Amino acid sequence: MPENQNIEYKRSWHDDYLKWVCGFANAIGGKIYIGKVDIGTIVGVDGVKDLMESLPQKIQNHLGIICDINTIKDNGKECIEIIVQPYSVPVSLRGRYFYRSGSVKSELTGIELNEFLLKKAGKTWDDVIEEGATLEDIEDSSIDLFLNDADKSGRMPASQDLTKQELLEKLRLMLNGKIKRGALILFGKDPNRFYPNVAVQIGRFGKDHADLLFQEQLEGNITWLLVRVPQLLNEKFLTKQISFEGLQRIEKGEYPIAAIREMLLNAMVHRTYMGAKIQMRVYDNKLSIWNEGVLPEGLDEESLKVHHVSKPRNPLIAEVCFKAGYIDSWGLGTLKIIDSCKKNGLPEPKIKEFNGGILVTLYKDYLSEEQLKQLGLSNRQINAIRYVKERGKITNREYQSINNIGKTTATNELTQLIELNFLVPSKTKGRGTKYILK
């Protein structure tokens, strides 16, 4: 059996492997075999008796945990099996925390370590009390906007007459008179006074990511950003505007508003609020949004394209967004993005992990060079598509000329473009045949 998330093979023992024990204890547990190679074959290990005596003591002294340690014999060779159970409390090695994910052991630092320690304590980032905050830091107009949206959604009845404190307590955003982080992110007058980068940065780019034409940045709580970001996109960044009533679509624009709505909501609900700000990039032929925070354990890029269980990084924030009607059904956000693009005749959006976060990209044009490359067209075929987009048609002779190739190759490649439903030939056959976009 090869190595996997809970199996590790080592030819011999080194004390540095205590990091692997620590990683298994902090994850889902696992087994370490000393005296086995990567394919699981026992090659034997020297000093089995001494290791059986020293390893339990080393693990307990350095990690504060107890592991089952056994010997396994096969064909006259002997190896050691270390069985590590998962621990509900964080386990450290000399003040450093390690974690096993897949077949990789990594050290937790910074934001990842903060989230790990909170998780082990049974908390999430948005559920933590912010000691320096008071009710004066909560914006009344944002509360009013939420209550109005919640009343429309019908998901939070009998809330209009509640005081500010009673409402926050009902939303589990306040405890024993103290404000939680989630309340400041959702309704705070100035969330950036407490946390860095509670903002959305929007940039308009030219031909590539290095060609920044202009940019804007919006700072504020989620309730305000959900209104203002679409407005700013309309005012300065999109050539064909979209009409909004709150977040509801009124008429069709460059991109489906349902997709932009879900992209923005997903970014705000699932982002890491101690990390970088949300970034939106608008190009001539695509729009992308990035938020810091990797996918939860058990989810990958492909699973986002099918029905999946929602695992919000900030569950209190997600619950409030649900009550306001911003989120229709957890776990369906990425599917709505994909479906809305298909319904509007746009290419399937691209969702991927990128630079420690999630990048979602909408494409405006099936025939953009980036899309054509992804579909496997050759450079010559892409040249031809570009030629037809500019001039309306192409002939076999013109295909030969722009690509510096012979007639046979041109014929074969044009035929392939027809079979792939990019081009259709005119009724005129022979030398006069013209090819146009389908």
- For residue 187, pLDDT beyond 90: yes
Determine the average pLDDT of the residues in 204-225: 93
pLDDT tens sequence across 321-349: 999 998 876 677 888 898 888 888 788 89
Mean pLDDT of the chain: 89
Residue 246 pLDDT: 52
DSSP per-residue letters across 199-236: EEEEEEESSSTT-EEEEEEEES-HHHHHHHHHHHIIII
Q: With contact defined as beta carbons under 8 Å apart, do 118 and 100 qualify?
A: no
The DSSP 8-state label assigned to residue 172 in this structure reads T
pLDDT tens sequence across 126-157: 999 999 999 999 999 999 999 999 999 899 88
Burial pattern 132-146, b for ≥16 Cβ within 10 A else e, equals: ebeeebbbeebbebb
Q: With contact defined as beta carbons under 8 Å apart, do 263 and 229 qualify?
A: no
- For residue 414, pLDDT beyond 90: yes
CATH top-level class of 369-437: mainly alpha
Which pairs count as long-range contacts for 110-113, CB under 8 Å and 24+ apart, including other chains? Answer: 111/272, 111/274, 111/275, 111/292
Percent with pLDDT over 70 in the chain: 96
Q: With contact defined as beta carbons under 8 Å apart, do 161 and 167 qualify?
A: no
Cα distance between residue 58 and residue 69, in whole Å: 12
Helices 257-270, 333-343: crossing angle, 10 deg rounding: 160
More confident residue, 359 or 298: 359
The DSSP 8-state label assigned to residue 77 in this structure reads E
Cα distance between residue 393 and residue 425, in whole Å: 9
Same fold, 7-108 and 110-364: no
| Pairing mode of beta strands 97-101, 212-219 | unpaired
Residue 275 burial by CB count (10 A; 0-12/13-18/19+): exposed, middle or buried?
middle
pLDDT tens sequence across 238-256: 876 555 555 444 445 678 8
**Helix or strand (DSSP H, E) at 115:** helix 110-120
Q: Which of 89-93, 203-207, 363-367, 412-416 is predicted with the least confidence, judged by mean pLDDT?
A: 363-367
Determine the average pLDDT of the residues in 3-11: 88
Enter the CATH code of domain 7-108.
3.30.950.30
pLDDT tens sequence across 48-80: 999 999 999 999 999 999 999 999 998 889 999
Q: With contact defined as beta carbons under 8 Å apart, do 37 and 83 qualify?
A: no
Strand partners, 34: 10, 80
Determine the average pLDDT of the residues in 283-303: 87
- For residue 365, pLDDT beyond 80: no
**Helix or strand (DSSP H, E) at 435:** strand 434-437
Strand partners, 424: 436
Enter the CATH code of domain 110-364.
3.30.565.60
Domain boundaries, the chain: 7-108, 110-364, 369-437
The encoded tokens of residue 410 equal 């041109």
Which pLDDT band holds residue 429 (cuts at 50, 70, 90)? confident
| Pairing mode of beta strands 212-219, 199-205 | antiparallel
Residue 248 pLDDT: 47
